[in-house]
Structure 1
C-alpha cells in the first residue's frame, strides 16, 4: 500500500489517470459499444436494460457534474464509434488518395457526437438522485439526440428508437407507434423504460443474491415499475396490432414500380470504368423489368390502367451530365423501357452556375425531362465541405444543395415524393406538408459502405419514414438493398445485397395521414418537455415554500 500511493500520486502529478480512472473509462466505453448492438442490424434491445442503468449509476456516483459529463461522453463515444464503424469503408475505396483519413470517419463522428450524450449526463444532476433524475435524463437524452439535425447539414443517424425496426412481422408490430410518436418519441420511450425497468430488475436480482445490497428503488417502486413495464409492453404491441388491422389504405393505388439494381462496384464508377457497358446493363435490366410490370398488369384486368414507373439508383452510372446534355441518350432509355409511363433516374447534373447537383430526373415516354429534383440534405465531408473544417476533403467544396421536399405531379401517375439517399434519415422532414405525395420514390447508393451494418441502418430509416408518413416507398439502390414498403412499413419485396436484377412491385394506396405526419417532431419535443418540467417541478415548489 505504501508503494502504490506514491505511484498513483505521481500519475496524477503528470496528468495521467489512475488505474481506477482507466478502468472506469474502459467500462464507460464498453457500455457504449455494447449499447450499439441494440441498433440495426442486431436489434439487441434487452442490452439497454443493463447498459443504461449502469451509465446512470456512474452519473449518480460522479463527484461533480464534470465527471458525470465525462461518463456520458465516453458512453456516447463508444456508442457512435461502434455503430458507425462502416464509414471507414467509404475511405478505403480511395485509400490511395485518402489513406491518412482512415481513422477519422467513425472516430471523428463519435468525437463530434459525444458532447450530445455528455450534456444530458451533466444537466440531469440539477435534480436530486432518484426517479426524477432518471426521467429528466431520458427527456434530455432525447432532446439532445433530436438536436443532431443542427450539426453541419444534420446527422440524425441511428436514433435508438430505430432498434424497434426488427425484420419481419415482429418489427411490423413494434414500429407502428412511430405513426404517432415518430422515431424520436420511440427513443424517449426506450431510454425511459430501459432506465426504470433495468434498475428495478438489477435491484431484484441483487437482492435475491445477497442481503447486503442496498437497492436503488424501494420495494413499492420496484413493483410499480414492473407493472408499468408490463402494461407499456402490452399497450405498445396492442397499438401496433390495432393499427395494422384498422388503418385502411385509401385513395388511388400506387404505380407498378420497377426498381433497377445495376450492382455497379463503386470503384468502377469512381474510376469512370466502362461507362458504356454500365449504361447498356441498365438498359437491359430496365427492359426486362418493364416487361415484368406489363405482365403483372395484364394478369389483373382491374389494374390494366395502373401506371408503370421505373427507378434507377442515385448517380446510377458514370456518365455524369450525359442525361442532362443528350436528348438522344434519354430517348434511348425510354425506348428500351417501352410501355413505362415515366423513368426516375438518379444522376449528377450541372446548374446554370456550373455547380454540380445530386439529382433525380423524371423522364417522359418521349425522353423529355418532365421534372427535376435536387438533393437538399447533403452528406457532410462526402458531398460538401463544412466551411469551418480546415482539412480540404471534398473537391471544390462539393455539391450544391436543393431547396427541400417536393411533390411531383407527373402525367397519369399518383403524386410522388422524390428522396435521394441520406435525405430519408430526417424524420418529419421528408414531405411537402402543403402538397403531400401519395408515395415515396427513393434512390440511393450504399455501395460506398460495403456489405456492412451501414446499409441496414439506412434501410431501417426508410421503413420508419413509411410508417411516420403512412406512405408506400419504392427504393432503388445501386448495390442493394432495393426494397418496397407499404405505409405500415411492411416489406413488399426486396433485392438483397450485391445482386444484379430488377424488383417489380405494385405499390398499394397510401394510408390516412398519421398523427406524426400532421404535426411532426413537435410531438416528441412536447413529450420531452412535459417529462422534463414534471421532473423539475418539485424543485420549483420547494423554492417557493422557502
Structure 2
C-alpha cells in the first residue's frame, strides 16, 4: 500500500510540465536548504532528492532532437532546483550590501538573485550529465549521484571555487557522521550524500521486473551509512590527545559593522579590544598575563597599525613579556611597481610586547567583489567597487604556511572564508599543531550565514585532525577539538572572551594524505555503475 502511494507520487512528479515543473523543482531545492544550519534538518533530503530524480525521469522527449531536448530539459530542472537551494540558503549574503546602504544598497537585489542563478548552473550541468547516463530503473540513482557529486566538486574549484553549503555538510550535522571528513573529506561526503539521500527514488517504480533492484539501492545506501557511522564511532573512541598546556584567550568584541571602520569611533573600538584582552574572568584568569596568547578577530584594528604610534604604545603597555597578541589586521607594503605604489593585505599578525609585528600571514584566497574586483579597471569605470575599505582592493598573499611563534605551537592561519575550502594545508610543509580562523561575520548579522560558516570550520578541524581556535568579531567564536566538537563558544552579538587550554592534535587522518582522491573514486564508481546499468538495457 505504501509503495503504491509512493509510486503515485513519483508518477505525479514525473508528469509535471511547464511552469509547474519549474516551480516544483525550485520548491524542492528551497526545502533542501533546511538540511543546512541553522536548521540542520538533513532528513529532508530523503524527500527532496527523490523529487529531483523523478523530475529528471520526466525529462522525456520525442522526435529527431530527442536526446538534445532531454538533456536541456534535465538541465532546466537542475537549474531550477539549484536556484531554489541557493536562494533559500544564501539570501543572507544581501546583508553585506546594507552595511553601507547609501553606497551598495542598490546592488543587494542583484546579488541576492544573481548569485543563486550563477551557482545553479553547476546543478544544471550535474542534472544534464546524469541524464546522459540515464536508464529507467532503480540503478539510475548511480547516474544521479555521479552527475550531482561531480558538479558539486566542480563548484568547489571552478573560477575561485565556492563550496559553501555543499551537500556533504548534511552529513556533518551529527558528530558521528561528521568524522567521515577525516576519511573522505567534504567532497567525498557530498558524493555519499548524493547517493544515500536519493536512494528512496528507487521505490517510486511500477516495473515488477525491477523489484530486486528497488531493494538493492536502498540496501546499499543503508550499508554505506552504517559503515560511515561505524568509522565515526571508532574515531570518536580514539583516546583523547593530551592538551598542549598553552592557555589562550579569544576576544569577541562584537563591534557593529557600521562602526568597525568609522574613524570617529576608532578609539572606542580599540578601547573595547584592550579592555577585553586584560579583563579578569576568574582567579586563574586575571588578565593578559595568565595567557600565552590573546587572539583578536579579522580586521580588528580600525586603522593601519603601522601608521598609529599611539595604538602601538597602548599594545606595548598591554602585552606582557613572553606573551603575544595574534590579531587580524590590515597592512600595506610600499611597492613602486604596483599601480597604487603599495600592496594592501588582509592579514593575521603576531605582535610582541614591544608592539612589533614578529610574524604575519597575508590572505591568499580573497573574496571576489568583497575584497577585490574581477576585471577591476572595467568595473570601477562603471561605478563598482569592492565592499571593503581598502582603496583598490586587497592583494593576495604569496602562500599559506604554518606560523611559528615563540612560546606557542605552530599554527595554520585561515582568514574568513578560507576555512570553507577542504585541503587547507600544504602537504609539502611541516604539519601545524592547530588551526586559527579569524573572521568577521558581522557583515551578515544574526542570519544563517555565521552558523553555516561555523559548521564548515568544524569540518576543517576533522579533515586535518587538528584543533581549531576561531575568533569572530560578533560570533560565533569557538574552540573546536580535532574531532570537530565545540569545547567552548560565544553566541552571536555577545561581547565576551573565551579562556581555554589549547586542545591537542590527533595523528594525521587519511584525508591529509589522499585529499580529493576518495571523492573522485566514489564519483567514478557511481559513473561505472550507471554505465553498466545503461549498457545492460541496450
Residue 132 of structure 1 and its aligned partner are, at CA, apart by 4.2
Q: Mark the CA change 1:115 to 1:293 in structure 2 (over 3 Å): closer, same or farther.
A: farther
The correspondence of residues 204-223 of structure 1 with structure 2, limited to 5 A, is 214=206, 218-223=210-215
Residue equivalent to 2:145: 138
Which string of whole-angstrom CA distances, capped at 9 and with x for unpartnered residues, describes residues 89-125 of structure 1?
A: 1111111112221112221111111110011211222
Aligned residues: 500
* Alpha carbons 1:85, 1:106 under 8 Å: kept: yes
What SS is found at the alignment partner of 1:97? Answer: helix
Give the one of 167, 175, 178 matched to 2:178. 175
The Cα shift of 1:381 comes to 1.0
1:292 Cα deviation after fit: 6.8
Cα distance, 1:297 vs structure 2: 12
Distance 1:72 1:235, change over 3 A: same
1:411 corresponds to 2:406: yes
1:45 matches 2:42: yes
Secondary structure (helix, strand or coil) at the match of 1:218 reads helix
Partner of 1:78: 84
Cα deviation digits, residues 372-413 of structure 1 (max 9, x gap): 111111111111111187464325542111123211111121
Q: CA deviation at 1:358?
A: 0.5
1-structure distance, mates of 2:276, 2:426: 30
Conserved in 1, the CA contact under 8 Å of 2:140 and 2:533? no
* Deviation of the 1:518 alpha carbon: 1.8
Q: Decide whether the 8 Å contact of 1:424 with 1:462 is kept in 2.
A: yes
Counterpart residue number, 1:187: 190
Q: Decide which of 423, 437, 441 is 2:436's aligned counterpart.
A: 441
1:237 aligns with 2:234: no
Equivalent residue runs for 1:367-378 within 5 Å:
367-378=355-366
| Residue of structure 2 equivalent to 1:16 | none
- The whole-number CA distance in structure 2 between the counterparts of 1:99 and 1:32 is 27
Q: Give 3-state SS (helix, strand or coil) of 1:183's partner.
A: helix
The corresponding residue for 1:157 is 164
Change beyond 3 A, Cα 1:324–1:217: farther
452, 469, 473: which one pairs with 1:457? 452
Q: Distance in 2 between matches of 1:381 and 1:453?
A: 21
Equivalent position of 1:342 in the other structure: 324
Question: CA 1:224/1:237 → structure 2, altered by over 3 Å: closer, same or farther?
Answer: same
Paired residues of 1:40 and 1:165 also in contact (CA < 8 A): no
Change in Cα spacing, 1:181 to 1:224, as seen in structure 2 (3 Å) is same
- Partner of 1:350, secondary structure, is strand
CA distance in 1, matches of 2:207, 2:280: 62
1:279 paired to 2:270: yes
Q: Deviations over 1:120-142 (max 9, x none)?
A: 21122223233443212212212
Q: 2:280·2:287 contact (CA, 8 Å) conserved in 1?
A: no
Where 2:279 maps in the other structure, the secondary structure is helix
Q: What is the alpha-carbon distance in structure 1 between the residues aligned to residue 321 and residue 231 of structure 2?
A: 42
Tell me if the contact between 1:423 and 1:430 (Cα under 8 Å) persists in the aligned partners. no
CA 1:382–1:223: 2 relative to 1, 3 Å: same
Match of 1:90 in 2: 96
User: Counterpart in 2 of 1:199?
Assistant: 201
Any conservation in 1 of the 2:247–2:500 contact (CA below 8 Å)? yes
The 1:313/1:32 distance shift into structure 2, 3 A limit, reads: same
**Is the Cα–Cα contact under 8 Å of residues 247 and 511 in structure 1 kept in the other structure?**
no
Structure 2: runs of 5+ lacking an equivalent? 1-15, 61-69, 336-341
Partner of 1:310: 294
By how many angstroms is 1:542 displaced?
9.1
Tell me the secondary structure at the aligned position of residue 415 of structure 1. strand
TM-score by length of 2: 0.87
1:366 shift after superposition:
2.7
Q: CA deviation at 1:226?
A: 4.1
SS at match of 2:408: coil
Kindly indicate whether the alpha-carbon contact (under 8 Å) linking 1:406 and 1:432 is maintained by their aligned counterparts in 2. no
Q: Which moved more, 1:377-386 or 1:285-294?
A: 285-294
1:262 aligns with 2:257: no
> Which residue number in structure 2 is paired with residue 486 of structure 1?
481
Task: Note closer, same or farther for the CA distance 1:149–1:174 as it changes in structure 2 (3 Å cut).
Answer: closer
Aligned partners of 1:80, 1:231: CA distance in 2, in Å? Answer: 30
Partner in structure 2 of residue 385 of structure 1: 373
Look up the SS of the partner of 1:114 in the other structure.
helix
What does the per-residue CA deviation read over 1:72-93, in whole Å, with 9 as the maximum and x for residues that have no partner?
A: 1110011011100101111111
* 3-state secondary structure, aligned to 2:311: helix
